[in-house]
Amino acid sequence: EVHVEESGGGLVQAGESLRLSCVASGFTFRTHWMYWIRQAPGKGLEWVATINGGGGGTKYYADSVTGRFTISRDNSKNMAYLEMNSLKPEDTAVYYCVAYVMGDVVKVVAQRLGYWGQGTQVTVSS
């Protein structure tokens, strides 16, 4: 059975940091690309970051988080991470971890393909 679970969300003040974790099981983790997707209150899904399968040497970020967020993975633990620094109120959202077999953010966000977690709430106060 496939299982993806996020943790690490919470309430922080603007400028502070959080580290989100994602643990996965039930599929070959190392071969899957990992995504962080978020959904702010009343808005649609927004892609945040992607890391490629295998060694994870290729990373992509949305313009809104470039320079502040860092995605990483540890294949030995079947885990992915999102380090979030200099948080802003506009980063407030439910953050989802997604595993998908290829690097195709359109399929993940628009078609909701892949294995999705239940999400973790991040709230940034001003």
Determine contact, residues 38/45, Cβ cutoff 8 Å.
Answer: yes
Three-state secondary structure readout of the chain: CCEEEEECCEEEECCCCEEEEEEEECCCHHHCEEEEEEECCCCCEEEEEEECCCCCCCEEECCCCCCCEEEEEECCCCEEEEEECCCCHHHCEEEEEEEECCCCHHHHHCCCCCEECCCEEEEEEC
Q: What is the pLDDT of residue 116?
A: 98
**pLDDT > 90? residue 55:** no
Q: Please state, rounded to an integer, the average pLDDT across all residues of the chain.
A: 97
**pLDDT > 90? residue 56:** no
**Which whole number is the average pLDDT over 77-82?**
98
